[in-house]
Amino acid sequence: MLKAILSQIISLYRICLHLFAKADTVQYPEEMPYLAPRYRGRIVLTRDPDGNERCVACNLCAVACPVDCIALQKAEDEHGRWYPEFFRINFSRCIMCGMCEEACPTYSIQLTPDFEMCEYDRQNMVYEKEHLLISGQGKYPGYSFYNVAGKAIKDKDKGEALNEAQPIDIKSLLP
């Protein structure tokens, strides 16, 4: 009993001391807080080192999204490369949890330290691919999914990916 009362008094004392501590918050927007590169803000789609869209429309971000705010549709170019025909994020639902980035096998979808995306009209919170796609590689420079995948695309035929042997000549009878 006494211990409990004492503990209350100690917490009163400790809290009181915080009167003299420096505030953790800053005077935003006059003073901008530091946000680490891995801060989870506005979502972008990045490009690979060759400047092509990294997104291969695998749908893993959409399925990982706990609020189901990502919708996309796969399309394929004439050389077999997959890309999203549309890619839509409804930021009015997004909770910036970063699960999509975790799920992305191509480093395409990335969260950025930008969080200033308020709108007066909720409809403007719906971002399409043209709003999401940036021209750079984002946080993971140098990675290109198709360079390690087995699928042939334009300018990368079978056997030309990383760590791949030349295609088999099935007519060979050598043991």
- Measured between alpha carbons, how far is 76 from 30 in angstroms, rounded to an integer? 47
How many C-beta atoms lie closer than 10 Å to residue 119's C-beta? Answer: 11
- Is 143 an interacting residue with respect to other proteins (CB under 8 A)? no
Hey, what amino acid is at 80?
Answer: G
CB of 7 to other proteins, least distance (A): 10
- Is 175 an interacting residue with respect to other proteins (CB under 8 A)? yes
- Is 33 an interacting residue with respect to other proteins (CB under 8 A)? no
Q: Parallel, antiparallel, or unpaired: how do β-strands 82-90 and 70-76 relate?
A: antiparallel
**Hey, what are 145's tokens?**
């999914």
- Is 4 an interacting residue with respect to other proteins (CB under 8 A)? no
Residue 39 or 90 with smaller CB distance to other proteins: 90
Query: Which of 92, 52, 85, 54 is CA-nearest to residue 71?
Result: 85
Residue 37 or 154 with smaller CB distance to other proteins: 154
The C-alpha angle with vertex 143 and arms to 147 and 71, in degrees rounded to 5, equals: 95
Distance linking the first and last C-alpha atoms of the chain: 86
- Is 27 an interacting residue with respect to other proteins (CB under 8 A)? yes
Q: Decide: 51 and 115 in contact? Cβ < 8 Å.
A: no
- Is 118 an interacting residue with respect to other proteins (CB under 8 A)? no
From residue 47 to residue 76, what is the string marking binding to other proteins with x (rule CB under 8 A)? ---------xxxxx-xx-x-xxxxxxxx-x
Binding site for other proteins (CB under 8 A): 8, 11-12, 14-16, 18-19, 21-25, 27, 56-60, 62-63, 65, 67-74, 76, 82, 86, 88-90, 92-93, 105-106, 122-123, 125-126, 128, 145, 148-152, 158-159, 161, 163-173, 175
